[in-house]
Amino acid sequence: MVIGGILVITRKNAVHSALALIVALLAQASLYLMLYAPFVAGVQIILYAGGIMVLFLFVIMLVSIERSMKEKQFNSQWVVGTIAAVALGGLFIAVYAKGKNIFPEHALSVVEDTNTQEVAKLLYGQYMFAFEIASLLLLVAIIGAVVMAKKRI
Amino acid sequence: MESMLHITTLHYLVLGAALFLLGVIGVLTRRNVVIVLMSIELILNAVNLNLVAFSRMWGGLHGQVFAIFVITDAAAEAAVGLGILIAFFRNKETVNIDEVNLLKW
């Protein structure tokens, strides 16, 4: 997955980046399966790798012309960006070195095969309000995307 | 096989931090707007990995529910971002971030 991530940010061709991101998302789904979260893994494969990445590939097809592949690849502020990213990495390493003893070994919690039912109980019970707000967000996003991409409003 | 490596929560968190770092580098240094949007998706995936790893550690399923909400939110944001990108491309015929400088002083 890290190799996929590195390929995403370094490829010149945008289609190669999109394919590397699909590989990274599928690897992430397998990691979710290792973490005993099969419902999230299924949602990831169907929605993320099968929906959002297809949308990205369509837009790349509409937008990326040949000229953008012959130009320079990196930003004009890439020096400052890399320094900021290295500072963030240093912060992560400092946090790791300080707090790496907190986490216990895996107490093997109750691993059942009713994960979807339990997630549904939480989603429709305790997080019902967030569920409705998420559907409202999707509605607003659909309206926004259609308005932004129209030729004449 | 006695010295088998147990994959603890810490390993997942380090992997999440590495992916987050890669996404941040992608957002800050690439020129093509589509690749910047894809790096944002990488960042959101790193956050999801963190959430699900902690949900495994604590035993409850709240982290997984929150991860589902994050995936939904990422879908909405990718759609709107790509709509903005198409509107931008229609005006300027380029997908360069360096050309977005109308508000520069």
- What is the per-residue pLDDT across A111-143, written as a single tens digit (0 to 9) for each? 667 778 888 888 888 888 999 999 999 999 999
Residue A108, pLDDT above cutoff 90: no
pLDDT reported for residue A121: 82
pLDDT reported for residue A44: 92
Residue A107, pLDDT above cutoff 60: no
Specify the 3-state DSSP secondary structure of B32.
strand
pLDDT reported for residue B1: 45
Q: CA of A97: how far to CAs of A92, A106, B5, B6, in Å? A: 9, 20, 19, 19
CB atoms within 10 A of CB B60: 14
Residue range A3-59, pLDDT digits in tens: 888 888 777 777 888 889 999 999 999 998 888 888 899 999 999 989 999 999 988
Interface check for A138 against chain B (CB to CB < 8 A): the answer is yes
| Distance separating alpha carbons of residues A48 and A61, to the nearest angstrom | 18
Q: Is residue B1, in this structure, part of any structural domain at all?
A: no
Domain coverage including residue B19:
9-97
pLDDT reported for residue A65: 65
Q: Is residue B66, in this structure, part of any structural domain at all?
A: yes
pLDDT reported for residue A133: 92
- DSSP secondary structure letters along A55-88: HHHHHHHHH--THHHHS--B-TTHHHHHHHHHHH
CB atoms within 10 A of CB A87: 10
Beta carbons of A138 and B72 less than 8 angstroms apart: yes
Interface check for A122 against chain B (CB to CB < 8 A): the answer is yes
Measured between CB atoms, which of A60, A75, A134 is closest to B72? A134
| Distance separating alpha carbons of residues A79 and B33, to the nearest angstrom | 18
As beta bridge partners, residue A74 has B30
Contacts of A5 by beta carbon, 8 Å cutoff, 6+ apart: A20, A24, B18, B19, B22, B23, B42
- Averaged confidence pLDDT in chain A: 81
Q: Supply the CATH number for residue B29's domain.
A: 1.10.287.3510
Specify the 3-state DSSP secondary structure of B64.
helix
| Distance separating alpha carbons of residues A21 and A15, to the nearest angstrom | 10
CB atoms within 10 A of CB B96: 17
Which ipTM score applies to this complex?
A: 0.85
Cβ-defined contact of A21 to B32 (cutoff 8 Å): no
Per-residue model confidence as pLDDT tens for chain B (105 residues): 444 566 777 788 888 888 998 888 888 888 888 888 999 999 999 999 999 988 888 777 888 899 999 999 999 999 999 888 888 887 777 767 766 766 766
Window 99-118 of A: residues touching B by CB (8 A cutoff) are 100, 103-107, 109-110, 115, 118
Window 41-100 of A: residues touching B by CB (8 A cutoff) are 43-44, 47-48, 51-52, 55-56, 59-60, 62-65, 67-68, 71-78, 80-82, 84-85, 88-89, 92, 96, 100
A153 vs A27: which has the higher pLDDT:
A27
Q: How many domains does chain B have?
A: 1
Preferred mutation among A30, A46, A52 to probe B, highest tally of B CBs within 10 A: A52
Q: Is residue B104, in this structure, part of any structural domain at all?
A: no
Q: Is residue B105, in this structure, part of any structural domain at all?
A: no
